[in-house]
Chain A
């Protein structure tokens, strides 16, 4: 019991550590920073609705960097995508969310 509680505390602790952890990215530095911040903002704003968060991210990315972007937010998924080079960001956020943003028109 103590162990599971400990693990729970750890998990909560991790969730509290809501810093975005970039798993894979081949974007230029500025673009990456902007996109990261946007993702954090969106996920925090729509913390209980992945779809709205994804929508916000996608629309903002389309405006900023051109069409057409694709965004996937979730807690458990596997994927294989084709993306334009230097336009992919895959990051973890909030201890349990994974966000994948890529451009492919």
Chain B
């Protein structure tokens, strides 16, 4: 400090002076300079003031005088008294208020407010420049929409025939308007971000990678189809359709009342089914043939036997024969039903009818009628079922499709095989005079005078009734009522009460059509005539038990045979009251039948399952064949029938089986030909043969 102050004193001296002056009074003088605070203590002691040379010399009193200065905003250069001439008053007037403003500096700026027209225009121009880079599309759209609108507007304007100048101006104005309208839409005002406090955050989630999947479905299947459409094709089709409709109408008409209710339902089904099952019906014929072929293959050996086998052993058997079992016919539905009737078809030699029912009084169930053909042993050709058991049947000679059936409940029915309905074509009922007891035998007769079908039936109620088919109705006429003769039961005044006998079998004479035999349950056989309704021609005390079958000899007009449950078979001459031959078979005889090829051969079946074949010409006393033909001995054989042509017999048992047997050669022996003589004199020879036998017997009898 000391050395600095040493230098300063030269310059500081005036300063100290000024400092001392300055302290005394503040004055606007030339720059007093910076006060140096250093060394003021020293220099304040020295009060030696130094005066500059051009300073005013003033007295001390003047030096101490204070002068006040006031700062005002008045413009010192502004006039203080402005006078203006006022035209209104015509004098000069002093203007009190003088503008004190003094413009020191002015500069014209180039800022325009944003919202003014010019501002907007400029803004738009800037935006356009920016947008034009983005894409021409938007502008194009804008242009297109503009042009569209312009076009629309142009049309009415053209109609007005406006001047061309108007149009472009309008266009221009339009454009401008459009532009202005569009401008607010286009720019998106960016939010002003606070650059100091704002930080953007963004994140991107994982997008799963894309994968293509393709699948090609199978196209819907297609097929070709071709046809021709002509007038004649159309015509033919319609004609066919009409025919079909007519056929269906006919079918509906011919149905009976019974079947009508069922028929309506069934017809609807069949008409709808027909279109589907037409194909099946076309195949039935072929199916049938194939079935038969299969059967033939299966039973080939049997068929061969049937045709060709002749038991060679017969030569060695002394006039005895055998029965060779061929086919066995059975049906599941008829399994538990006994065979109650057998009949060969007169026209078709391989067709036979089997009636099923039950002999048991307590166990009565339904019945069946089956027709078998030897060509098809496994299944019947026709099946008919009925509510009541079938007891007997007969096939018409002239109309081999008509089968008459007698039922256990006393009804008779006719089945027409041509119409394969399960219902009988004609049926008796309670009001049309059915029997009150089982019908044991029915037989077709010759057509009556009016060519109406006619048959007889015999029943346990003692009536023999003739039925006539008159215009699809069964009309019955009672032929005879079986009375038990001489059975007066001690009544008053000698009136005879006739009890009714029960007929069990009958047979018509081969030549004398009006004569027939009836076997009864009491064991008597009556010879009756159709014309006499109250009296019998003859009575034979045949058996002790019910007569099961009677049969005229096919050749000899006088001889008939009868069998009964009293184990006997008897052969009669109808002129003689006592039997010619009596055979005792060791069990009840179910049925007996003459052979069609010989007058001396007959077969009998017994309940112990045996079949006996007799030939009177060879052996008068014994059977030439006794054979068990059913598998189990329990089976009772119920019926037997000879085939008219072939050397076979069918045998039915109570289990529902029908067995077909072939007769061995011994059984069908023809009389030995005498040299030179023809054998074909069939009937006469047979008759002669039998006559001989009878004569022998008669001689014996007359002798005894």
A83 at the interface (CB under 8 A from B): yes
Chain A residues with CB below 8 A from B233, complex form: 98
**Contact indicator per residue, chain A 52-88, by CB within 8 Å of chain B (1) or not (0):** 0000000000000000000000111111111111001
Query: Do the beta carbons of B238 and A85 come within 8 Å of each other?
Result: no
B194 interface hit (Cβ, 8 Å): no
Please state if A76 and B222 are interface contacts (CB–CB under 8 Å).
no
Question: Which B residues fall within an 8 A CB radius of A?
Answer: 220-231, 233-235, 237-238, 241-242
Interface range on chain A (Cβ under 8 Å from partner): 20 to 34
Q: A21-B238, A23-B237 are in contact. Are A82 and B231 (CB under 8 A)?
A: no
CB of A40 within 8 Å of the partner chain:
no
17 A-B contacts (beta carbon < 8 Å): A11-B235, A21-B241, A23-B237, A75-B231, A76-B231, A77-B228, A80-B225, A80-B226, A82-B222, A82-B223, A83-B222, A83-B225, A84-B221, A88-B225, A90-B225, A92-B237, A92-B238
Q: A82-B224, A90-B225 given; name 17 further pairs at CB < 8 Å.
A: A14-B238, A21-B237, A21-B241, A23-B237, A24-B227, A74-B229, A75-B231, A76-B229, A78-B226, A78-B228, A79-B226, A83-B222, A84-B220, A84-B222, A85-B222, A98-B234, A102-B225
- Decide if A96 touches B223 in the complex (CB within 8 Å): no
A33 interface residue per 8 A CB criterion:
no
**Which applies to chain B's interface (DSSP): helix, strand, loop or mixed?**
mixed
- Determine the residue in chain A with the shortest Cβ distance to B234: A92
With A79-B227, A80-B226, A81-B225: A96-B234 Cβ-Cβ less than 8 Å: yes
Give A81 Cβ to nearest chain B Cβ, in Å. Answer: 6
Q: Indicate if the CB atoms of A95 and B234 lie closer than 8 Å.
A: yes
Shortest C-beta distance, A95 to chain B (Å), equals 6
- State the CA gap A82–B219 with chains docked (Å): 13
- The answer to whether the Cβ of A47 comes within 8 Å of any Cβ in the partner chain is no
Known: A84-B220, A92-B234, A92-B237. A78 touches B225 (CB 8 A): no
Measured in the bound complex, the distance between the Cα atoms of B228 and A95 in whole Å is 15
Decide if A90 touches B227 in the complex (CB within 8 Å).
yes
Contact assessment for A81 and B228 in the assembled complex, using a CB-CB cutoff below 8 Å: no
Residues of A within 8 A of B242 (CB): 17
Residue of A24, A79, A88, A102 with highest tally of chain B CB at under 10 A:
A79
Min CB distance B231 to A, Å, is 6
Most buried by A among B226, B231, B237, B238: B238
Chain B residues, Cβ within 8 Å of A80:
224-226
Chain B residues near A78 (CB-CB < 8 A): 226-229
Q: Output the least CB separation between B589 and chain A (Å).
A: 64
Judge whether B227 and A104 touch: CB under 8 Å: no
Closest Cβ neighbor of B232 among chain A residues: A76
Shortest beta-carbon distance from B278 to chain A in Å? 15
Chain A: CB-nearest residue to B236: A92
- Chain A contacts of B234 at CB under 8 A? 75, 92, 95-98
A95 CB contacts on chain B under 8 angstroms: 234-235, 238
Min CB gap A78→B, angstroms: 4
Q: Is B225 touching A76 in the complex (CB atoms < 8 A)?
A: no
A43 contacts the other chain (CB 8 A): no
Closest to A88 in B: B225
Q: Which residue of B lies closest to A87 (CB)?
A: B220
Q: Is A39 an interface residue (CB 8 A)?
A: no
Distance between Cα atoms of A76 and B221 in the complex (Å): 29
Residues of A within 8 Å of B228, CB to CB, are: 77-79
Closest Cβ–Cβ distance, residue B245 to chain A (whole Å): 10
B227 touches A23 (CB 8 A): yes
**What separation, in Å, do the CA atoms of A81 and B50 have in the docked complex?**
140
What's the least CB distance linking B71 to chain A, in Å?
102
Which chain A residue lies CB-closest to B229? A98
Point out the residues of chain B lying under 8 angstroms from A90, CB to CB.
Answer: 225, 227
Give Cα A22–Cα B633 distance, bound, in whole angstroms. 64
**Inter-chain contacts of A81 with B (CB < 8 A):** 224-226
Q: Are A17 and B238 in contact (CB under 8 A)?
A: yes
Residues of B within 8 A of A92 (CB): 229, 234, 237-238
Docked-complex contact A85 and B229, CB < 8 angstroms: no
Judge whether A100 is part of the interface by a CB distance below 8 angstroms: yes
Tell me if B225 and A24 are in contact (CB < 8 A): yes
CA distance A105 to B225 in the complex (A): 16
A97 — which chain B residues lie within 8 A by C-beta? 234
- Residues of A10-43 at the interface with B, using a CB-CB cut-off of 8 Å, are 11, 14, 17, 21, 23-24
B185 to A: closest C-beta gap in Å: 44
Q: Whole-angstrom distance between the alpha carbons of A78 and B225 in the complex?
A: 11
Specify which of A11, A77, A88, A104 is in contact with B229 (CB 8 Å cutoff). A77
A76, B227: Cα distance in complex, Å: 11
Q: Which residues of A contact B237 (CB under 8 A)?
A: 21, 23, 92
Q: Which residues of A contact B220 (CB under 8 A)?
A: 84-85
* Contact in complex: B224, A100 (CB < 8 Å): no
| Those 4 A-B pairs whose CB atoms lie nearest each other, nearest first | A98-B229, A80-B226, A78-B228, A85-B221
Tell me which residues across on chain B come within 8 A of A84, comparing CB atoms.
Answer: 220-222
A72's nearest neighbour on chain B, judged by CB, is B229
Neighbouring A residues of B230 by C-beta, 8 Å: 76
A9 vs B237: C-alpha distance when bound (angstroms) = 17
CB distance from A56 to the nearest CB of B (A): 19
What residues of A have a CB within 8 angstroms of the CB of B221 in the complex? 84-85
CA distance A25 to B286 in the complex (A): 27
Q: A18 → chain B, closest Cβ, in Å?
A: 11
* Max count, chain A CB within 10 A of own CB: residue among B222, B228, B241, B242: B222
Bound Cα distance A14, B220 (Å): 38
Q: Min CB distance, B262 to chain A, in Å?
A: 26
Given A14-B238, A21-B241, A83 and B229 contact (CB-CB distance below 8 Å)? no
Given contacts A21-B237, A21-B241, A96-B234, is CB(A85)–CB(B227) below 8 Å? no
- Expressed in whole angstroms, the Cα–Cα distance for A95 and B236 within the complex equals 10
Q: How far is the CA of A92 from the CA of B228 in the complex (A)?
A: 11
A83 to B219 Cα, complex, angstroms: 12
Cα-based distance from A11 to B236 in the complex (angstroms): 11
Query: What residues of A have a CB within 8 angstroms of the CB of B229 in the complex?
Result: 74-79, 92, 98, 100
- Tell me the complex Cα distance, A50–B237, Å: 21
Chain A residues whose CB sits within 8 angstroms of the CB of B235 once the complex forms: 11, 14, 95
Of chain A, the residue at the smallest CB distance from B240 is: A21
Chain A residue, CB-CB nearest to B228: A78
User: With A and B bound together, what is the CA distance between A12 and B435 in angstroms?
Assistant: 59
Whole-angstrom CA separation of A83 from B234 in the bound complex:
22
In the bound complex, do residue B226 and residue A83 qualify as a contact, i.e. CB atoms below 8 Å apart? no
Report the bound CA distance from A83 to B226 in whole Å. 10
A83→B223 contact, CB < 8 A: yes
In the assembly, what is the distance between CA of A86 and CA of B526, in Å? 76
Q: Tell me the minimal C-beta distance from B608 to chain A in angstroms.
A: 63
B288 to A: closest C-beta gap in Å:
30
